Structure 1
């Protein structure tokens, strides 16, 4: 007997298993190798979604159903190994949301944490707990758990962004709550830019007390994040597995910006090929700039601007950029680290 082998199923043993099964018992030795595995085992598989095709289908959906009727007009990115489960990884959700000119996605709130990564269009807004922000390409926007939020588009062009949520994680704990506000839009009680001014300049209000686990900043503008990468790349200090990779943080404690989802932004210089890397946090990548390819578990995926791809847990991955490239990504690393589960391994170039 071992963690990788099951005992022989004799007729006598099978008869015993059937007898105890009627009362809700199962012999551990018959399933041990399936539930405690030597390495991570998941149905999640590598995959890539082309943005141009997704945009075409989103716009088609825009003619079929309104944002208000749909509550959220979103096409879910379902992992091919997890079809029918609304999952892009075992623990995370991803979807592409469309808000057409003049539309409002109604105000609601829920237990799940959400991020928005702005992919197409500019100038639509999202409102979170009384503050409105205008969204530009590449912005990383947070909706904390149980925060009222709505989206609107007063521009003349469609707006598309990636939604990333911890829906599977919250469902696993049977802890989902949700409610609508009863109005399309919440009241705006704070000036645009208030949270970034209060918390995003290496200062905090003198009597600030943390009441939420998520960052008090809810829009991390891409222009600022990209400028930081540009300044840092001048040092030519490239991590062999990541290029130049930064994490979005909560300015209150320096931890990840969200309690269950870990967001990142990384720069790959022209012609750079990363050394093999794997970790236990399955990761969703969004190509913000550039073209290149990634090899995940032996499969090569060619990517371009705005494409989305996923790397499952504990599968080797390398990236190679043609010209300079920028990747946004998110995973459940922060949750795994809090539980003492996260592990990584670096290979040789």
Structure 2
């Protein structure tokens, strides 16, 4: 924009604005510099949540309300710059969910795409459209739009995972639908392991026809993803800004695993310092392993295992690693790239 200065408010102009206001009109020239900005502007701010206090509060909530009563017993991670909006970034929602031993989080479905990243526990499960999968630490699990899903914990320990959804995006388009299943747990129609066998071995059924935009694989086990990082790090091919960063994909077309949310897993070796980087997709990070420090526009955040932090859109960030680290992250890059919005900027060393 050539002119970012708002025109002066004269008495004559003021009277004109008041007159057209009665007809539900407004002059563009008074707001143009706020609507079309030279760079991204956002209420989203960088922030870090340490896992241990979150865990204490989450377990305390377990004594206050059941999973059935709450439908989803979740503590929402609200960005400090957008309190009261249930947003962690402008376009994304995040929360920590607790399912205690013997509980079922009742079956429902909704327009919103959802991801689960398991932080604590083992051998609990989620069922998606009639297929059950066990959930273990570090697993990335997808619930596609309008897929029936319920969660259960048949283990002896609490199960905790991070939920990430595109709730703000769907709300922006006024496109939200949701409904409950008639039973707490949906009936099973497929065997355990059906999806990875059918779609996860670089093969597809001969008559395969996609039913939606999400990946037909809905559980990406951490053990397998971590092994990929270990094999690749032997090549010592480190990206200056990302270390070694992989994208979870849809095996059908090689695109993002989710239609609106991009998901990633990256490894940063001990002593590695990344070059400054910024992009238009505000990103939520989960520390899966290791320790280090992230600086966002001059603010430093020291993190360790299971901590969660957010880097807003178009803010310079760097990571400095004191112990070899694995970071899971998600952002709205999948949607931005489809719409032609996404942009990045690097200061490679």
**Superposition RMSD in Å:** 0.8
Distance in 2 of aligned mates of 1:240 and 1:100: 42
Distance in 2 of aligned mates of 1:23 and 1:347: 50
Distance in 1 of aligned mates of 2:58 and 2:143: 22
CA shift, 1:9, in A, is 1.0
Distance in 1 of aligned mates of 2:182 and 2:162: 25
Distance in 1 of aligned mates of 2:120 and 2:3: 48
Distance in 1 of aligned mates of 2:302 and 2:41: 26
Q: Evaluate the alpha carbon distance shift between residue 3 and residue 71 of structure 1 in structure 2; reply closer, same or farther with a 3 A threshold.
A: farther
Distance in 1 of aligned mates of 2:292 and 2:233: 19
Who is 2:292 aligned against? Answer: 292
Q: Any conservation in 2 of the 1:117–1:163 contact (CA below 8 Å)?
A: yes
SS of corresponding position for 1:87: coil
Distance in 2 of aligned mates of 1:320 and 1:197: 39
Distance in 1 of aligned mates of 2:119 and 2:197: 24
Extract structure 1 runs of 4+ deviating beyond 3 A: none
Q: State yes or no: 1:147 paired with 2:147.
A: yes
Q: Evaluate the alpha carbon distance shift between residue 228 and residue 279 of structure 1 in structure 2; reply closer, same or farther with a 3 A threshold.
A: same
Task: State the Cα deviation string for residues 5-62 of structure 1 (Å, max 9, x = none).
Answer: 1111112111211121121111000000000000000000000011101000000000
Distance in 2 of aligned mates of 1:125 and 1:131: 10
Task: State the Cα deviation string for residues 285-336 of structure 1 (Å, max 9, x = none).
Answer: 0000000010011100000000000000000010111011000000000100
Who is 1:176 aligned against? Answer: 176
Written as runs of structure 1 = structure 2, the 5 A alignment for 1:1-349 is 2-349=2-349
Distance in 2 of aligned mates of 1:53 and 1:90: 25
SS of corresponding position for 1:135: strand
Q: Evaluate the alpha carbon distance shift between residue 3 and residue 66 of structure 1 in structure 2; reply closer, same or farther with a 3 A threshold.
A: farther
Distance in 1 of aligned mates of 2:182 and 2:199: 30
5+ residue gaps in structure 2?
A: none
CA shift, 1:348, in A, is 3.7
Distance in 2 of aligned mates of 1:314 and 1:116: 26
Distance in 2 of aligned mates of 1:316 and 1:260: 23
CA shift, 1:179, in A, is 0.1
Provide the TM-score with structure 1 as the length reference.
0.99
Task: State the Cα deviation string for residues 197-253 of structure 1 (Å, max 9, x = none).
Answer: 111111111111111100000000000000000000000000000000000000000
Distance in 2 of aligned mates of 1:178 and 1:251: 28
Provide the TM-score with structure 2 as the length reference.
0.99
CA shift, 1:2, in A, is 4.1
